[in-house]
Amino acid sequence: MGWLAELFETNRIIVLFVYGQVFFVMGLAVALQSRHRSRLPLARALGWLAGFGIVHGLMEWGYLFIPIQAGFLPQPVIEILLLLQLLMKPISFALLFQFGVELLLSTREGAPVRRVMGQPWLRQVPAAGAVLWGIATIALSTTVAAGFTPEPGPWLPANDIGPALAGVGSPLAVGDVVARAMLAFPASAVVAIGLRRTTRLLGPMAGPGVATALGAASIAFVVYAVLAGLVPLPAPFPPASVLNSQTVLDTVGVPIDVFISLTGLAIALAVIRSLELFEQETDRALADARRRELLLRERERIGRDLHDGIIQSIYAAGLHLEQASAEVGSERPTTRERIGTVMGELNRITRDIRSTIFDLRSGELEARDAEAIVLAVADELQAHTLLKIEIGSEGHFRPRLRPEQAEHLHHIVTEAFSNILRHAHASRVRVHMSCSRRRFTLEIRDDGAGFDPSAADEHGRRGRAQGRAQGLANIRRRAELLEAEVDITSARGQGSRISLTMPVATTRRGS
């Protein structure tokens, strides 16, 4: 094995450069992708993975470039660079840990998992681990490892870096051991679990290529957990005194850096390959947009035909009946009463058709501004009814919605107004909107007849959801898709109130 060790030692500059490069390139590629908007759970966590790749790549390049600078810079500066390199190690692993935690939280499934792995406190674990790393490093460096000086073997043998290593002392080795055991190993394991769960969550949406890439990345992180988490720099206490980078080199003749570089390359290739998932999502979004455009055009045509054709015919029939009623006179009151009943039915049918036209046209809303959506639906309603609608808003922020959020919101608002129009017999509606930094709240009140919410819910549960009950079920279902809180209160004779609070992205008013 001597010739093999000598080969890698001769080409150590290449090994160290490639080691840092695979992680840095992965981080850069993921960072560029994470700038794109996406509704996939994986996208919300990618920023942490990008941070890990970039910081870890820079940290590993420290083994290459710090010794080169040792020939030009004074020893105190080199010691500062070594300390910065040491600090970057737990930071990079904490970022990886946070990536895994975000995957777990965004793909939680089943009650037991939600209780253990879906709690918000889990987000604090990586930061807490980094703090504990600092405490453990100081404690071990001043006790069991006091006076220990790391060997210069892991660094590039370009210049004499020994005095700087002696100046920093045992924290370099102890910090490496603690960072790998306390952060790198659990972080890689959590990421592997999160990627597996992400693959199951995506299902057929991922496609065979992306699913294979995510599976390969999960396996690669398991290998990385063993290599990067359990094989530290040599230290004067077990297990680092028994299993470390030097014992691996002495046993197999290949530096542990080579194995980790190959694992990192596998991770980088798999992660970059899996980014095609977002291109597929974009293609699906464009196809959905085209379908929605065709649907909206068809809705507009149907609404126009209903208004210009059927409603005008019904109106003409009503005029004929009104004329017939006048010709009958008061001699035949029964016939005149029947004609009046028919005219009332025609008026009701006309109102229902106008309400249907209102429902169809409300689907044409494409605004991404929550307030604009509410205002547009309210304007459409006032244009076809005698309802008085009062609208107010407050807050220093303006809500901005993703396309699917905009669609769900305008359906909720449309359903709420349609219920008021069809069932409440209200004369006045009050709409109030408020927006904080991350939440948008909408409240719709009417002075109508009111209803019993529990009875409506019971009808829905028994499969007899019709009219208002069906409308309330639709509102609750769409609110759930928005991850929103909805509160519906009413009492007979006292009107009704619908309150919706949803998480949103915001911009400051006037910006």
Going from N- to C-terminal start, the domains of the chain cover 2-274, 283-364, 367-511
Half-sphere CA count of 160, side-chain side, radius 13 A:
5
The CA-based diameter of the chain, rounded to the nearest angstrom, is 122
Tokens 């015919």: give the residue: 313
- Tell me if 240 sits within 8 A of 173, measured CB to CB: yes
0.95 exceeded by the pTM? Answer: no
b or e along 43-56 (b: 16 or more beta carbons within 10 Å of the residue's beta carbon)? bebbbbbbbbbbbb
Given phi > 0 = left and psi -120 to 50 = alpha, else beta, which region is 493? Answer: left
Q: Distance from CA of residue 493 to its chain's centroid?
A: 42
Instruction: In whole angstroms, give the CA distance from residue 363 to residue 487.
Output: 24
Predicted pLDDT at 190: 94
Residues in contact with 469: Cβ distance below 8 Å, sequence separation at least 6, in sequence order: 456, 457, 459, 460
* Nearest residue to 24 via CA among 62, 63, 51: 51
Contact 87, 47 (CB under 8 A): no
Chain-centroid distance, C-alpha 95: 17
Quote the CA–CA distance of 218 and 465 in Å, as a whole number: 45
Q: What are phi and psi of 428, to 5 degrees?
A: -145, 140
Task: Classify domain 2-274 by CATH architecture.
Answer: Up-down Bundle (1.20)
CB contact at 8 A, 505 and 493: no
Q: Which CATH architecture has domain 367-511?
A: 2-Layer Sandwich (3.30)
Distance from chain centroid for Cα 179: 29
Q: What is the 3-state secondary structure (H, E, C) of 172-209?
A: HHHHHHHHHHHHHHHHHHHHHHHHHHHHHHHHHHHHHH
Backbone angles phi, psi at 430, to 5 degrees: -110, 125
According to DSSP, the β-strands at 496-503 and 439-446 are antiparallel
Residue by residue, pLDDT tens for the chain (511 residues) are 567 767 777 777 888 888 899 999 999 988 887 655 566 667 778 889 999 999 999 999 998 888 888 888 898 999 999 999 999 999 999 999 999 998 888 776 433 333 344 456 788 999 999 999 999 999 999 988 888 888 877 777 766 788 888 888 889 889 999 999 999 999 999 999 999 988 887 776 667 788 888 899 999 999 999 999 999 888 888 888 888 888 888 888 888 888 999 999 999 899 888 887 777 766 666 666 677 667 767 766 776 666 667 767 777 777 777 777 777 766 677 777 777 787 777 777 776 776 666 555 555 444 467 888 888 888 777 765 667 888 888 887 888 887 778 878 888 888 888 788 777 777 888 999 998 888 899 999 988 888 776 665 555 544 444 445 567 888 888 888 888 899 988 888 788 999 999 988 887 765 5
**CA–CA dist 66, 53 (Å, integer):** 19
